[in-house]
Structure 1
Amino acid sequence: MARKILFINQEISPYVPDSELSLMGRELPQAIQEKGHEIRTFMPKWGNINERRGQLHEVIRLSGMNLIINDTDHPLIIKVASIQSSRIQVYFIDNDDYFTKRQMDVDETGEDYPDNGERAIFFARGVLETVKKLRWVPEIIHCQGWMGAVVPFYVKTAYKEEPSFANAKIVTSLFSKALKKDLGQNFKKCLEFRDAKANLLEKYDDNFGFEELGKLAIDYSDGIIQASETVYPGLVDYAKSCNVPLLDYPGEQFADQYEAFYERICQD
């Protein structure tokens, strides 16, 4: 059965250097599209992306919204490009402060950006608001990478009444790549939006680190995939303790198993 699947990726090759995350960001949507499913794909417009080489252009009708995070307005800019070899169209979430003038998750000295938490929140809300504008209703939302880790929380709280997401099932992939530092003591406050209230975050440490971010994603997901042979310690065990459906690492021939897992999640 053909499904509508939204992929929210932290990295996609060839727009950023090849890595486990960026290669899966490209290969998974392509494989699922080739199986006859309808897809949409999003990623951040990291500052190291060459817009001219990648042939990115702004989508005026989708841009122009302001998202308020930490009491500050941040303009949302949407760009789009196509990966010619795979016929995959990629939507990019952009903002001058969070992405255009920055590298990816670390700065020039190799340190995590102190506002990475805010960047993840902006990215998540930017994707969800753009999907609403597209008037496209995904049946499955698949998040890959820590930048999409707050999406499950928002879909099941702040956006649960939205027609675009009310019936969506959420899958989160766990990878080996992790943030080095926490997201700051202000992360919980920044995360508040509509029905995404602070009291829902009481079970998590105030210093929101990578493990807490993973637990938040797992708690609000309908399925978890171990996408790397080794993932961040404790998160797979946490998923098992929550009785969330879990797909063990499927190896390099993953497409059939991912497709079957999607179908299983939709039937639950």
Structure 2
Amino acid sequence: MKILMASSEAVPYAKTGGLADAVSALSITLAKLGHEVKLVIPRYYGIDRGALTLIPEAMGVPVGGGEEWCAVYTTDLEGSPKKNPVTVYFIDHEKFFGRDGIYGTPSEPDFLDNPRRFTFFSRSVFQLCRKIDWYPEVLHAHDWPAAMVPVFLKFGERREGFAKTVSVLTIHNLGYQGIYSKDNYWYTRLGWNEFYTAGFEDWSMMNLLKAGIYSADKLNTVSPNYAEETKTSAQGFRLDGALRYRAADYTGILNGIDSQLWNPKTDTLLPAKYNPKDMSGKAKNKEALQKEYGLHPDPKLPIIGMITRLTGQKGVGALFGPAYGSAFSICRDMNLQFVLLGSGEAWCENELQSLSGRLSNFKARIGYSEDISHLIEAGADFFLMPSQYEPCGLNQMYSLAYGTVPIVRSTGGLADTVSNFHEETGEGTGFMFNDLTPSAIYNTVGWAVWAYYNRRPQIEAMRLRGMQQDFSWEKSAKKYLDMYESALTPSTK
């Protein structure tokens, strides 16, 4: 099958979150399964042209009142199979993408010209195919920045080489939709009839993701439970009606994890490797984690780990909110240690610094480190994720793979990947709670710590049970292939 991925992010070139990891990993896995996969992203300022190959001659893209011209660079995606590599194409337009930041900067979090930047990018996808004379069977767009791809396919591009092409739109996070003034709509070169029939209208604004939802042949999001949640008013971000309308074409496919990169048997970033048959290395990683964070190296104390963005979505208000968050009480009342790695909202960073100074058993690092993130996953006994909502989540799957027991709120992909501990039978792979409140987090952490001290054989069994779970991308990729086939079937018969 010929598949073209269109995304604003892809590792190792541009990343702000899990979207970049998922796009590249899915592309590589599909190529390993024998499919012809290409990937197109913008060439941002931070992507070195010198490491890429220029495709001769400029490319014109019809937008606005005429054409915008750009260059196209290419290379093979790192990690893709040598006999069937994923080719990456970079759309190089200095005015739109030759700047710091993907969607914005700290001083301008959301670039004013984002609707034009990504309208141009989405239209360039079709021109790229014409330029290289390669037409995909499946155009797979990711999130709101590429949501115009299925719109353009349905309203104008389904001709010439695209007559049998189908579109798929993956929603990685419904909270980000690309809502802008409809004054930008003229730049799409679509008529005002399409503004309404394609689904752009969002009160007095234009909504790019909504248009993609109405226009794509098939839709999915990144976990089955999140797919159901997004069809409710509570977590639908005002698009629950659109998703219910498209329910027959909408499904949830759980993201996978890179089982080569995140594998305690082979992880080169760890002081000691380990596996389900020999867990001794985990104790060595625990000691190294305690030393890294300046904690008393006591092997008997349970360690709670967190790696997170410090935003409301991640539940940090209920955990770290000054005067009402539960973190201080957890560390004051319970015989444990707590380590955190993350960055985000200034108030939360300040509160973490304050807690680190007031509590001897709580230590936080502001920022991100790949080395330390692996050490936390391997060295901690529990991993805390009190998310307000979580489309898929990766860290709970990393934790399970590393024998670190998750403590999570029962939402989205967390509910799909973690099963709750049962005291009588010992079944389960983690500890779960429903309400995002300080008391719920406090009580659930307390339950896990109690089990650590009083039901240790059950905790050890949970570790091994988690390490035996299959979260490979191959499993997920096969479900994507099923979705592609279901989209293609009506078009070819």
Partner of 1:245: 249
One-letter code aligned to 1:260: D
Three-state SS of the structure 1 residue aligned to 2:76 is strand
Q: Which has the higher contact order (CA 8 A, sep 6+)?
A: 1
Counterparts of 2:178 and 2:166 in 1: how far apart (Å)? 30
Match of 1:58 in 2: 54
Distance 2:205 2:39 in 1: 27
Change (3 A) 1:186 1:142: same
Within 5 Å, give how 1:247-266 maps onto structure 2: 247-252=251-256, 253=471, 254-266=476-488
Change (3 A) 1:91 1:251: closer
In 2, Cα distance between equivalents of 1:180 and 1:267: 29
Q: Using a 3 Å threshold, how does the CA distance of structure 1 residues 244 and 172 change in structure 2: closer, same or farther?
A: farther
- Equivalent residues of 2:115, 2:178 under 8 A apart: no
Equivalent in the alignment of 1:161: 159
Offset, 1:18: 6.2
Counterpart residue type for residue 12 of structure 1: A
Instruction: Identify if the C-alpha distance between structure 1 residues 106 and 41 changes in structure 2 by more than 3 Å, giving closer, same or farther.
Output: same
Structure 1 length-normalised TM: 0.86
Contact kept, 8 Å, 1:188 with 1:206, in 2: the verdict is: no
Residues of 2 paired with 1:110 and 1:180: CA distance? Answer: 18
**Letter of the aligned partner of 2:52 in structure 1?**
L
Identity in percent: 22
Residue range with higher mean Cα deviation, 250-259 or 227-236: 227-236
Check if 1:186 corresponds to 2:183: yes
Say whether 1:69 aligns with 2:66: no
Q: Does 1:176 align with 2:176?
A: no
Equivalent residues of 1:224, 1:244 under 8 A apart: no
Aligned to 2:156, what secondary structure does the other structure show? Answer: coil
Larger radius of gyration: 2
Which SS does the other structure have where 2:115 is aligned?
Answer: helix
Q: How does 1:4-83 map to 2 (within 5 A)?
A: 4-17=2-15, 19-52=17-50, 55-60=51-56, 63-71=57-65, 73-83=67-77
The alpha carbon displacement at 1:205 in A equals 3.1
Q: Which residue type is aligned with residue 239 of structure 1? A: L
Return the match for 1:120 from 110, 118, 121.
Answer: 118
Match of 1:101 in 2: 99
Tell me which protein shows more helix as a share of its residues: 2
Is residue 177–residue 210 contact of structure 2 (8 Å, CA) maintained in 1? no
Long gaps (5+) in structure 1: none
Residues 142-174 of structure 1, C-alpha deviations (whole Å, 9 max, x = no match)? 101222111111111221222x21111110000
The one-letter code sitting in structure 2 at the alignment partner of 1:31 is T
- In the other structure, the counterpart of 1:208 is 205
In structure 2, stretches of 5+ residues that fail to align are 231-235, 257-470
The letter for the 2-side match of 1:96 is E
Q: What is the CA–CA distance in structure 2 between the aligned matches of 1:206 and 1:241, rounded to whole Å?
A: 18
**TM-score, scaled to structure 2:** 0.48
Counterpart CA distance in 1 for 2:131 and 2:91 is 14
Query: Shift of the alpha carbon at 1:43?
Result: 0.7
- Cα distance in 2 for partners of 1:237, 1:93 equals 34
Within 1, Cα distance between the matches of 2:220 and 2:37? 19
SS of 1:183's equivalent?
strand
Q: 1:147 aligns with which of 145, 148, 152?
A: 145
How many residues of Structure 1 are paired with residues of Structure 2 in the alignment? 256
